[in-house]
Structure 1
Amino acid sequence: MTEIASVSLDQPLENIADEVGRSFAEYGFAVIRDHGIPQELIDRAEAKSKEFFALPEEVKRGYHIPGGGGARGYTPFGTEKAKDAEVQDLKEFWHVGRSLPEGHPLAKYMAPNVWPGEVADFRETFSELYSAFEKAGGRVLEAIALHLGLDRNYFAATVEDGNSVMRLLHYPPLGEEAPEGAIRAAAHGDINTITLLLGAEEAGLELLTKQGSWKAVDVPEGALVINVGDMLDRLTNSRLRSTTHRVVNPKGAAAKRARFSMPFFLHFRPDYVIETLPECIEEGHESEAPPPISSHEFLQQRLREINLA
């Protein structure tokens, strides 16, 4: 069996497009090295994230926005649960989204960001990281376009001013108070176009293979894990797979450690209509392609399923 692709982004994308595409078709995942996000920025962001999650519970909860679907600010421990899961995940998180000027045609889809006043330079650090994630994501999408035989810039317009969200995640040390059967992140698929994940070096991330077994994703220090989301799966008629994945509870000493990570959920524009690419429809099977749907409508459907809307 082939392995999950692990490639450097610091080379002509033509060299890696098909290797990344093969990995997305088989596993829905690839590992990207030399992604261009400066290590100094990553270290700074990790420090700011830890500083925020160390704040008193009542301070953090002051940034929770009831009725906001978790789109901005703080989501408390034990809120989100995977689709069809019985119990909530063992995590808390903070969301940073796109900031659009007032009067922008897409502003109605995106709430303004909130920023914790208790953590110095939080806004500056995560605004910078958000931009760096977008740039790296754009390069990955370019490689995907090349693999699919599209113009290399095909995806640029589809994600411009997209509803992308950066999540700062904290999985606390495992305590005895955890509900029976709860794990850090139960089996789920991502809703968005592609996800870029920083901080997956610590063991625990697993994907479900086509054969139905769980496979650990091994990540070199500082690399990005990229996975296909449901929107890209739908656009490509499952040629590129959105794969079920989870974060399992560690054993031994690792169970007593907190886990921190930063996924960036790269989204299409809210008004982009996800309509299966002709290149991904087999002749004579046109009627089997999923019906067109706006990315905003698709997102709302899925947020209701995972207890966030």
Structure 2
Amino acid sequence: MELAEIPVLSLATGRDTLPRDIGESFRRFGFAMVRDHGIDADLVARAWAQTRAFFDLPEAEKRGYFLPGLAGARGYTPFRTEIAKGASVHDLKEFWHVGRDLPPGHPLAGSMPPNIWPARPEGFRETFTRLYAEFDRVGAELLSAIAIDLGLAPDWFDPTIADGNSVLRLLHYPPVTSAEDGAIRAGAHEDINLITLLLGAEEAGLELLGKHGEWLSIAPPEGALVINIGDMLQRLTNHVLPSTTHRVRNPSGERAQHSRYSMPFFVHLRSDFVFHTLPQCIDATHPDRYPEPITADDYLQERLREIGLKA
């Protein structure tokens, strides 16, 4: 398997070189890798330990946190529920979602249900409330660099993601015992949101689809974030920044007997944000692909139906 030669960038460079470098990486791969993000290593270690402890709970206990009708927005989603858009078999994964807590009476509360929290493991709520806030901070910093690269003001995205519908997903891919129907851990897909920040890609399996139709493996250094463009940012930029197809393939040999864990943070717009293609991404050669406006929440609900989380 060929390795994707994605550069590892430093968030510490700030506005000196990061906007140019991350823009180049996104235009080439739809992906980037970022170190020096400042998320506390001890916090991340606790998060991994509690993720494993939660998914080790009895199936009946985990299913007690599955809330039908929420489209997986909060709490637990059972094994083989999600399906990649256009796929015929469901993914070999289970997951837990943490979202943004809004105050009572908030105008966006209708599109963002309150979090639910498991009784076990101890400290789960505190750990993932803190980690959510850290991912939220880093996501805003990365969007500032992206804004500069696009010729926008550094704070252009700030009001678009204020009280945004961002989600932290704790993912468990159990050992692969059999997949006679051709199922894999995560079928080939593109993310729905603006950008995704991923911890846990050190374990082999994450692959992106190259420009010539070849699958390329992604291997970040330990602790680095893998960042990718989602469909919402692709739409907003008229495909200047591409949302790249990716998957998590099944392991072979001895590794098939082991679980895989990862923690993606999906940075979302405010639910009431209305898409209008950025003018600087439109010209005579690249006409507007999306002349019809749509709200971020309507777009999200449409995509949730496509991936099997909503009827």
Coarse TM-score class (shorter-chain normalised): over 0.9
Secondary structure of the residue aligned to 2:283 is coil
Is the 1:78–1:90 Cα contact (8 Å) retained in structure 2? yes
Question: Which residue does the alignment assign to 2:261?
Answer: 260
> For residues 120 and 173 of structure 2, what CA distance do their matches in structure 1 show?
21
Partner of 1:141: 143
What is the Cα deviation at residue 6 of structure 1?
A: 1.4
What does the per-residue CA deviation read over 1:205-228, in whole Å, with 9 as the maximum and x for residues that have no partner? 000112111111111000000000
2:267 maps to a residue whose letter is L
1:26 Cα offset (Å): 1.5
* Residue matched to 1:198: 199
The more displaced of 3-12 and 149-158 is: 3-12
Query: Are the counterparts in 2 of residues 14 and 143 from structure 1 also a CA contact under 8 Å?
Result: no
In structure 1, the partner of 2:212 is: 211
Deviation string, structure 1 residues 100-140 (Cα, Å, up to 9, x no partner): 01101111110110000121111000000000000111111
Residue matched to 1:238? 239
Give the C-alpha shift of residue 22 in structure 1: 1.2
Correspondence 1:1-309 to 2 at 5 A: 3-176=5-178, 178-283=179-284, 286=287, 288-309=289-310
Separation (CA, whole Å) in 2 of partners of 1:118 and 1:143: 38
Deviation per CA, 1:43-74: give whole Å up to 9, x if none: 00000110100000000000000111000000
One-letter code aligned to 2:131:
L
Which structure 2 segments of 5+ residues have no match?
none
Kept after mapping to 2: 8 A contact 1:270/1:296: yes
Aligned-residue offset at 1:92: 0.3
1:227-278, Cα deviation, whole Å (9 max, x unpaired): 0000000000000000100000111221111000000000000001111100
The percentage of aligned residue pairs carrying the same residue is: 58
Partner SS for 1:135: helix
Partner of 1:293: helix, strand, or coil? coil
Question: Which is worse superposed, 90-99 or 283-292?
Answer: 283-292
- Write the letter of the residue equivalent to 2:54: F
Q: What SS is found at the alignment partner of 2:12?
A: coil
Q: Give the unaligned 5+ runs of structure 1.
A: none
Root-mean-square deviation (CA, aligned residues, Å) is 1.4
Matched residue type, 2:281: C
8 Å contact kept, 1:234–1:290: no
Deviation at 1:287, TM superposition (A): 5.0
User: What one-letter code is carried by the residue in structure 2 that aligns with 1:62?
Assistant: G
SS of match in other structure, 2:227: strand
Amino acid at match of 2:295: S
Runs (4+) of structure 1 exceeding 2 A deviation are 283-291
Note the C-alpha offset of 1:285.
5.1
In the aligned structure 1, how far is the partner of 2:285 from the partner of 2:215?
34
Q: 1:194 to 1:285 in 2, by over 3 A?
A: closer
TM-score w.r.t. the length of structure 2 is: 0.96
Counterpart CA distance in 2 for 1:96 and 1:179 is 32
Residues 74, 94 of structure 1: 8 Å contact kept: yes
The answer on whether the counterparts of 1:146 and 1:152 sit within 8 Å (CA) in structure 2 is yes
The residue type equivalent to 1:171 in the other structure is: Y
Deviation of 1:179 after TM superposition, in Å, equals 4.2
Q: For this pair of structures, how many residues does the alignment match? A: 308
Cα distance in 2 between the residues matched to 1:270 and 1:156? 14
Partner Cα separation in structure 2 for residue 61 and residue 279 of structure 1 = 47
Contact 2:4 2:217 (C-alpha < 8 Å) held by counterparts? no
